[in-house]
Amino acid sequence: VWRLATSFLWLPLNFSYLTVLYFLYNYAMQLETSLFAGRRADMVFFLAFEAATILPLAVMFRRLVLLESLVTALVYVWAMANRHAEVSFFFGLRFKAMYLPWVWLIFDFLSGSSDPTGKLLGIAAGHLYYFLDRVYPEQTGGRRLLVTPAFVARAFPEPDAQGTAAGGGGGGAGDGFGGGVHVMRPRQTAEQERQEGLRNRTGYAWGRGNRLAD
């Protein structure tokens, strides 16, 4: 029985191993601080659902190492929840976040660093969760098929307001190790930062101003 859990905790040491660790750290943190912010039990249920979905698929395709599949599922759910955000992949390649799992799959396949089957299983598991959690309720007027069990909610209670404020300072979408994938910051924040700088220096928010002829 213990092999069911340990199959998600091991990966061969190669270039793909470092990439998987980076994606695990980056996107698990982003899901925890955005999509599942203040929903600890839902995050645990999400991970359990993905693992339970990947396991039977892995048996069908004779896969023994499943960490890559689980991480790909995390990336897929984040990418679909932020589908219109612009991300920057290795070597400066930019595209919308919805394509990130597929670009990662093609990149690893072309570099010969991993078998694409593991990522395809993760994409399938991530798509199933996203459909049941987001798409289906929107199409049926709010009816939900995925509900976090009560015993999971009791085991992982929601953090209080103080704990949320203290723990909510996790990295944003653009944080990371200085390489890999980053989300591009919206262009309008430059004006907001200029206004913030004026406010800090003068104590007033001057605004953008208008010409006399306007």
The DSSP H or E segment spanning 195 is: helix 189-202
Cα distance between residue 78 and residue 172, in whole Å: 13
pLDDT of 165 > 60? The answer is no
**Residue among 68, 21, 78, 19 nearest 46 (CA):** 78
* 192 vs 171, residue with greater confidence: 192
The DSSP H or E segment spanning 182 is: strand 182-183
Q: What is the pLDDT of residues 19-65, one digit of tens each?
A: 899 999 999 999 999 999 999 999 999 999 999 999 999 999 988 88
The three-state secondary structure class of 96 is strand
Task: Spell out the SS3 assignment of 12-61.
Answer: CCCHHHHHHHHHHHHHHHHHHHCCCCCCHHHHHHHHHHHHHHHHHHHHHC
Per this entry, what is the length of the chain?
A: 214
The three-state secondary structure class of 94 is strand
Give the global pTM.
0.72
Joined together, the tokens standing for residue 203 give 């104590």
- ∠ Cα 47 112 10 (to 5°): 35
Residue-level pLDDT at 195: 52
Percent of the chain with pLDDT over 90: 51
Cα distance between residue 175 and residue 187, in whole Å: 17
What integer best gives the mean pLDDT of the chain?
79
Do residues 17 and 23 make contact, with C-beta atoms less than 8 angstroms apart? no
Cβ-proximal residues to 121 (8 Å cutoff; 6+ apart), any chain = 54, 57, 58, 61, 63, 66, 69, 72
